[in-house]
Amino acid sequence: MSPARSVPLLVLLLLLAATAGPALAADGDAWVFAYRPGCGDCDRALPLVEAFRQAHPEQPIELLDLSGDPNATARFNELSERYGTRTGVPALFAGERVVSGATAVQNFLAGAPLPPPTIGAGGDLTSLTPLVVASAGLVDGINPCAFAVLALLLGTLSASGSRRRTVLLGTAYTAGIFLCYLGAGLGIVTVIGAAGIASAFRLGAGIVALLLGLVVLLSAVVPDAPLRIAIPGRGRLAAGRWVAALETAGPVAAFGLGIALGLVELPCTGGVYLGVLGLLAGGAPGEALPLLVLYNLCFVLPLVAIVGAVAGGMGPARVDAWRQARRRLVLGASGAMMLGLGLVLLARELL
């Protein structure tokens, strides 16, 4: 989680911990901890709750597994209605309070604010730090699929007219790409967490990222390799038409083109993103959002550089020459990133 985004969360947790520590119920009424196996937050919170139960046997805690028992689901819905909230899992119903999310449960049980756990981490091996996320986003942003579209964009922007118009259209287009990728990532993390299939998704994402990484590394070593990752033929034609239309488009149309091209690029550029989403899967969407924002800011950074270069008078030929000269290096970096993320995901699930 980036520091700027984590400050409001930490302040909120400090206030919660200061005003509502986990005072044990005097009458011995049981608390209820609702969770779903495979949910990343649930998997992090459950050991904390079990340790608290062992340390404080005077405070009973009922464990409510929502993975398949209709009676457990009905009881969870009944508790939610009684407390007047529609909380997600993990959730701890304690006395007159409802505490939701692994970090909030941890702080509530401890009675004092503690540093939040690293997102996507079942252990140190798979910790996602801002540096890792930023590096992955940057590598993804300069992969050959994305750069093929960047080359088209460069020529179009250079013919779009004034410097002001170039910056305006380029900024709107970049914003469309950014929001497309951010929305896709946040949607996937949210759906996976709600469905409780984080473990299966991580396993599948690990396999796909590993295979794609091997293919990309092969194409870096053997330029004429029969297998390569590329935008499909129809997608390339559509991308060419849409980017050409940008020359006469307004900012709103440029924004829409960014979203459309983001969807076209996503299957080709998604190998690295898929690995990052696999590590975030199962966590609370609110905790994943800062890292997704960081990833996608770095992903569009080459776009920002292209827009600035064109506005400053750089010609398309110069940028395209740079791209061609470093194509194998970029492929190698992209393939290595996919391979590493795939191995981390598989290690987390299988070891």
Q: What is the pLDDT along the chain (351 residues), one digit of tens a residue?
A: 443 333 333 333 333 333 333 333 333 478 899 999 988 888 889 999 888 888 777 788 899 999 888 888 889 988 888 888 777 889 999 877 888 888 888 888 887 333 344 444 433 334 567 888 898 898 888 766 666 666 666 667 666 667 787 788 778 888 988 999 999 999 998 888 777 687 788 889 889 888 888 888 887 777 676 666 666 666 667 767 776 776 676 788 878 877 877 787 777 777 888 888 888 876 677 778 899 999 999 998 988 887 787 777 776 667 667 767 777 787 788 888 888 888 888 887 787
Burial class of residue 39 in the structure, from the number of CB atoms within 10 Å of its CB (0-12 exposed, 13-18 middle, 19+ buried): buried
Structure-token match 């690995």, residue found: 275
Query: Do 155 and 315 form a contact (C-beta atoms < 8 A)?
Result: no
By C-alpha distance, which of 129, 92, 102 is closest to 193?
A: 102
Question: Strand runs (DSSP E) across the chain, as ranges?
Answer: 31-35, 61-65, 91-94, 97-100
CA-only gyration radius of the chain, Å: 24
Q: Using an 8 Å Cβ cutoff, are 97 and 104 in contact?
A: no
DSSP state of 25: P
217 neighbors 335 (Cβ within 8 angstroms): yes
Whole-number Å distance between alpha carbons of 243 and 257: 7
Of residues 73, 121, 79, the one with CA closest to residue 100 = 79
Tell me the pairing of strands 91-94 and 31-35: antiparallel
| Peptide bond just before 90 cis, omega within 30 deg | yes
- pLDDT of 12: 36
Instruction: Check residue 124 and give its pLDDT.
Output: 34
Q: How far apart are CA 66 and CA 77, in angstroms?
A: 11
Q: Which residues of 156-180 are buried (b: 16+ CB within 10 A; e: fewer)?
A: bbbebeeeeebbbbbbbbbbbbbbb
Fold of 3-110: Glutaredoxin (3.40.30)
Q: Where in the chain are all domains bearing CATH 3.40.30.10?
A: 3-110
pLDDT of res. 13: 34
- Quote the pLDDT of residue 239: 67
Burial 289-313 (b: 16+ CB within 10 A, else e): bbbbbbbbbbbbbbbeebbebbbee
